[in-house]
Structure 1
Amino acid sequence: MKAALLKSYGDVDQFEIADIPAPKPGPGEVLIKIEASAVNPFDLVLRQGFMAQFIPLPLPAVLGGDAAGAISALGEGVTGFAVGDRVVADFPANGKGAHAEYGVVAATSVAKLPAELSFEQGASLVKAGLTGRQTVEALGVKAGDRVLVSGGLGTVGRAAIQYLKQIGAKPVAGVRRERLSEGRDVAGEALDITIPAATPSFDYAISAAGPVAGNLISHVRDGGHVASVVPVPEGANAGNHVNIIELYHRTDAATLDAVLESAVRGQLVIPISHTFTLDQIGAAQKAVAAGAPGKVVLKH
């Protein structure tokens, strides 16, 4: 099968499109013929080796965490799926990822893709949809609560904002000044997150943009709660005046089902800003690095 192999840690010139043996599913796994996969910022971190101490990749490695395609084979003991089912899958960062023609993943990381959604849409929803929803759930917000979301126009931020709306909360998009109008279009209310708050006015916030994480914390009242998917700058929470919940995306097929159902109902929309082919993996990663305003997707 054709795969985008990362030969060594480094720049995008370390990718090579090569033919490698197709994997076979083991017990509890499924083999997916991948039609589309998404490129996430975390892929760039992995490629450059910044996480090698914690997530060592077996080089050459195949990156890619979000995939959509059709089940090609079932491993022993798998139930609830059939060969030919259209699915999305949340691949782990183990060097056997989704940027290939076929991929093997645990059946517990797979959800059926509704007919109303394309493969490209499905691939764009996986980690962004899961992470956005999980940040909201971690805060325990309820209808009527006002929640500040930094990175409100990023994919995770958009997913969080749209889920907040879905449960009746009141999201506020934290964006750069020049994007305030876009932020209001998405959330209904927006503020310039590049400016620290003179007086905090939020009890809840979601931190999804690293460069402004300190500014976001300044908007939260003493005793408030922040769900953060980015590193919190040292000293930003002096005296631990707010409660910070550090989150890392987790695989959850039931939540993924709910994400896809929201997309079908039009309650969750993640824009796709760039579409490349698998052999354009380098250009796709460059687009992510340049701050693509939506999801970057590879068509296989």
Structure 2
Amino acid sequence: MKALTFNRYGKAPGIGFTDVPVPTLRSDELLVQIHAAGLNPIDNLIPTGMFKPVLHFQLPATLGSDLAGVVVEVGSGVTRFKPGDEVFASIFDLGTGSIAEFAAVPERAAALKPANLDFVQAASIPMVGLTSWQALKERVHLREGQKVFIPAGSGGIGTFAIQLAKFLGAQVGTTTSTGNVERVRRLGADEVVDYKNQAFEKALRDYDAVIGTVRGDALEKSIGILKPGGQIVSLIGPLDAAFARARRLNFVLKWVFGLMSRKFMRLAKKQGVAYSFLFVRPDGTQLAEIGELLTAERIQPVIDNVFSFEQAKEALNYLAQGHSKGKVVVTIR
């Protein structure tokens, strides 16, 4: 089968199309013929080697994490799916990729595709949906009436997380550029800061939680907008010792990650707020619950651009520019 792979880590990872074997199924897996693959920023970071200590691939490795497609075969232990089922899933952190004609998907990672979504829309959801769900519901335990700051509101995570936070009854603050202010307001944002004209740390106050989505000094500045007892859940680092322990990493990596986050943890503690790093995990049960919200149209997919399979490398380059308004998707079939 055809797949978009990288051959090595570093500045010249050798990204290109390769003929690779169709996956051989384990007893708990589905063989999915992929119709569309959603792209995420981490798809561009993995080949650089940034996550090599925690994400393990056998090279050459297939890129991509999100997919939507049709089940063509099931393992002997699969009970919830059958050939012909239309599914969507994230296979992030499972040592394989989704920008390919087929993928082996663990049953625990898959959910039935919402019938009201096409494959492109469904493929745009898994990672941003699960990340938002795990950050807002599991980590923050966001409640009705609380205030959450979700910067970069017009991006892939932002467009989904704003909608989920509003569904949970929260007030949402965000940042975006001038041309996207009304776009994020339509998604439900209550306080919108045009970062080209105003600093968010001067405009926002008394927030209960921050979801860190923007690299640079934005995370440090966000400490000042939180109430005492507030929480910062970062999706972009710094990695912390708790993450290393949860991954059962060796002592050296625990020490390194603890050192990386020490300064920020000290600043957060001084202001009376808590910090944690979140690494999304595949979860078909959660994805099915997200699917119910999509079916009920409580949350809607936001697609920026769609590329053909042959244009997959160009799609990754487009995403890397950082200007997408919603999700970038590659159609495979």
TM-score, normalised by the number of residues in structure 2: 0.83
1:132-211 counterparts in 2 under 5 A? 132-137=132-137, 138-176=139-177, 179-192=180-193, 194-197=199-202, 200-211=205-216
- List per-residue Cα deviations over 1:90-128 (Å, max 9, x = no partner): 113354211110110211000011221111111101010
Counterpart amino acid of residue 217 in structure 1: I
Conserved? CA contact 2:44–2:316, under 8 Å: yes
Q: Please tell me whether residue 296 in structure 1 is matched to residue 328 in structure 2.
A: yes
SS at match of 2:202: coil
Conserved? CA contact 1:149–1:172, under 8 Å: yes
CA distance in 2, matches of 1:262, 1:195: 30
Conserved? CA contact 2:13–2:47, under 8 Å: no
Displacement of 1:11: 5.4
Conserved? CA contact 1:4–1:279, under 8 Å: no
Conserved? CA contact 1:2–1:19, under 8 Å: yes
Displacement of 1:209: 2.0
Query: Any stretches of 5+ residues in structure 2 without a counterpart?
Result: 239-260
Displacement of 1:84: 0.7
Change (3 A) 1:140 1:95: closer
CA distance in 2, matches of 1:243, 1:23: 42
2:270 to 239, 242, 248: 239
Aligned length: 300
1:221 corresponds in structure 2 to 227
TM-score, normalised by the number of residues in structure 1: 0.92
Conserved? CA contact 1:209–1:230, under 8 Å: yes
Counterpart amino acid of residue 73 in structure 2: A
Displacement of 1:178: 5.6
How large is the RMSD of aligned CA atoms in angstroms? Answer: 2.1
1:1-300 counterparts in 2 under 5 A? 1-10=1-10, 14-137=14-137, 138-176=139-177, 179-192=180-193, 194-197=199-202, 200-211=205-216, 212-232=218-238, 234-235=263-264, 237=268, 239=270, 241-291=272-322, 292-300=324-332
Change (3 A) 1:199 1:180: closer
CA distance in 1, matches of 2:77, 2:184: 46
Q: Percent identity?
A: 28
Q: Once structures 1 and 2 are overlaid, which stretch shifts more, 114-123 or 51-60?
A: 51-60
Q: Once structures 1 and 2 are overlaid, which stretch shifts more, 212-221 or 169-178?
A: 169-178
SS at match of 2:227: strand
Displacement of 1:181: 3.4
SS at match of 1:23: coil
Displacement of 1:217: 1.9
Change (3 A) 1:268 1:243: same
Change (3 A) 1:199 1:162: closer
Conserved? CA contact 2:7–2:59, under 8 Å: yes
Change (3 A) 1:142 1:95: closer
Q: Once structures 1 and 2 are overlaid, which stretch shifts more, 197-206 or 277-286?
A: 197-206
Conserved? CA contact 1:66–1:126, under 8 Å: yes
CA distance in 1, matches of 2:108, 2:173: 34
- List per-residue Cα deviations over 1:159-217 (Å, max 9, x = no partner): 22111211222222233466433332323422436442378421222222223212222
CA distance in 2, matches of 1:214, 1:179: 24
Conserved? CA contact 2:92–2:281, under 8 Å: no
CA distance in 1, matches of 2:157, 2:200: 21
